[in-house]
Amino acid sequence: MNIVVCVKYVPDAQGDRGFESDRTTDREGVDGLLSELDEYAVEEALKIVEAGEGEVTVLTMGPDDAATAIKKSLQMGAHQGVHVLDEAIAGSDAVATSLVLAEAVKKCGDVDLVLTGLASTDGVMSVVPAMLAERLGLPQVTFASELTVEGGHVRIRRDNESFSETVEADLPAVVSVTDQINEPRYPSFKGIMAAKKKPVQTWSLADLGVDPSQVGLDAAWARVEETQARPPREAGEVVTDEGQGGEALADFLAGRRLA
């Protein structure tokens, strides 16, 4: 079972995130890391391969620093990495991202399963997996909170508020997983040392046969027109309970039409 896991390098959500003058995400001004939701996809791939056989390849598209996302995945146990790195990619939207990732998956050769996170923690569009499946001509099943691979099929459970459904697709397939699916492992000391020797290939757009005019900000189908920082949170109202706490709470909720 050869699995490709798409992993994105994103600005740390704990940092003070901002935008460039062209309103693309500022990726230099704040530390980046492997998108936390992608750790679940890496963990699931490792579990599948450990229960049988095969290899896990992690694939990222992003600037130099995106190698950090590959490194963390290799430390967790992935076997190899692919980094698509090309200046023309900067400013790409989800449509262009899916094009580049699809061509990279094809170049990886015989792939049985493509796993992704539920969404990146920066763009949070949740559309790249579906676009990727369309471009690869593969079935896609999304939002998996449980996953089994058996006899050439992948079976997943999707949960929503009122019911759960079980969905099956033939392999190869593209599957996005939620943060309910597993508990991602921390890299062990052994894993950190082993990662240093694992192969990472760097591919350009030319290596993938992608025309640079199809990617980047100028080719984006959607543009961010305006950004506004969310106003800082106002200090809460403190009520000292001197016997009237319940009433004060009821008034507070009623005043906001919450009760």
Ligand X SMILES: Cc1cc2nc3c(=O)[nH]c(=O)nc-3n(C[C@H](O)[C@H](O)[C@@H](O)COP(=O)(O)OP(=O)(O)OC[C@H]3O[C@@H](n4cnc5c(N)ncnc54)[C@H](O)[C@@H]3O)c2cc1C
Rounded least distance, CB 244 to ligand X, Å: 46
The answer to whether residues 54 and 2 touch, using CB atoms and an 8 Å cutoff, is: yes
What is the identity of the amino acid at 34? L
Which CB sits closer to ligand X, 224 or 254? Answer: 224
Q: Count interface residues toward ligand X (CB under 6 A).
A: 34
Cis before 172 (ω within 30): yes
178 to 207: interface string for ligand X, x by CB under 6 A: ------------------------------
> Could you give the string, one character per residue 125-154, with x where binding to ligand X holds by CB under 6 A and - elsewhere?
xxxxx-------------------------
Contact flag: residue 42 with ligand X (CB under 6 A): no
Closer of 204 and 248 to ligand X (Cβ): 204
Residue 162 or 228 having the CB closest to ligand X: 228
CB nearer to ligand X: pick between 49 and 96 = 96
Tokens of 235: 């200090």
Q: Give the nearer residue to ligand X in terms of CB position, either 82 or 149.
A: 82
Rounded to 10 deg, the angle between the 67-76 and 36-51 helix axes is: 40
Binding mask 79-108 for ligand X (x = CB under 6 A): ------------xxxx--x---x-------
Q: Are 67 and 201 in contact (CB under 8 A)?
A: no
Interface with ligand X, residue 6, by CB under 6 A: yes
Residue in the structure block whose two tokens are 């998996």: 144
List the one residue from 11, 32, 62, 81 that touches ligand X (CB under 6 A): 62
- The answer to whether the beta carbons of residues 107 and 123 sit under 8 Å apart is no
- Is residue 34 a contact point for ligand X (CB under 6 A)? no
Q: Is 35 in the site for ligand X (CB under 6 A)?
A: yes
Query: What's the token pair of residue 122?
Result: 């920066």
Contact region with ligand X (CB under 6 A), list: 121-129, 152-160, 197-205, 243-251? 121-129
**Interacting residues with ligand X (CB under 6 A):** 6-8, 24, 35, 37-38, 41, 60-62, 91-94, 97, 101, 116-117, 119-120, 122-129, 217, 220, 222-224
